[in-house]
Amino acid sequence: MHRFYMPKSESEARAIQEELRREIRLFDDFDKLETIAGIDVGYDIENGLAHASIVTMSMDDLKPIEAVEASVPVDFPYIPGLLAFREIPAVLDALDGLVTRPDLFMVDGQGIAHPRRMGIAAHIGVLLNKPAIGVAKSRLTGRYDMPGMHKGEQSALMAGSEQIGVVLRSKDDVNPLFISPGHRLSMKTAVDITLRCLTRFKLPEPTRLADKLSKVRPVKQMTLLSA
C-alpha cells in the first residue's frame, strides 16, 4: 500500500489517483454507522511537518470518544490537486494510535469534488476501504449557483453534466461548505450525514473538533472527556 500514498514523482502521483479512482463506490455500502471520525491536517511550516488531528465520536449524540494526533515530515512538494500525498502519511500515522477504528471518516477536504475525482477523503476512503465524506471550506473545481443564506439550503456543484458535490449553507449568513462523497456513500447520504453533524457552528462537529484539537498542544493520544 506504501506507493499509494508516498509516490516518487508528480507523474506517479497522478497515475495513482487515476488507478484508485476506479475503486471508488458512490453508493451506500455499509452495515452500520455508529461512530464517525473527523480528520483535519495542518502544517508546521517552520519544521517541515504535516500535523494530523483525528477525533472519533458517537453518531447518536456527537459525544467525543477518542482523539489522536501525529506529525510527520512532508516529503512531497506542494502541487495543487495532489495535496493528499503531503497529508495522508500523517493521517495514517495518527490512525495507528486509535484504539477502535471508526465506521466512517469525515475529512476536512475534498471527496470526489476534485479534477480527477480523487480528493483526500476519496483517497483515504479507498485506502482504508471505509465510507468517507469530504467537507471542504472552499471550491477546488466545478461550478455552482450560490445557495440561499439560511442553514440547510444547498445547490449542486457541477463539472459539466456531472454532479461532483453539494454546496451547503451550514449556518445562517456564513460562507457555504463544499460536500462530496469520498467512498462507499451516495451524494445524498454524504449531505444527510453532514447535516446530522451540524450544531450551532459552521463546521460539522467531527471536523470542528479535529480542527480545535490541532490548535492545542500536540499529544500522540488522549481521551476527550468534553468538547
Specify binding-site residues: 40, 108
- Asked whether 3 and 172 are in contact (CB, 8 A), the reply is no
Q: How far apart are CA 111 and CA 132, in angstroms?
A: 8
- Asked whether 142 and 180 are in contact (CB, 8 A), the reply is no
- Asked whether 183 and 133 are in contact (CB, 8 A), the reply is no
Residue list, annotated binding site for Mg(2+)? 40, 108
Task: Look at residue 128 and give its three-state secondary structure.
Answer: helix
Q: How far apart are CA 30 and CA 9, in angstroms?
A: 34
- Asked whether 204 and 33 are in contact (CB, 8 A), the reply is no
Partners of 134 in the β-ladder: 107, 180
C-alpha cell at 48: 517541515
Instruction: Show Cβ contacts of residue 17 under 8 Å, excluding neighbours closer than 6 positions.
Output: 82, 116, 118, 123
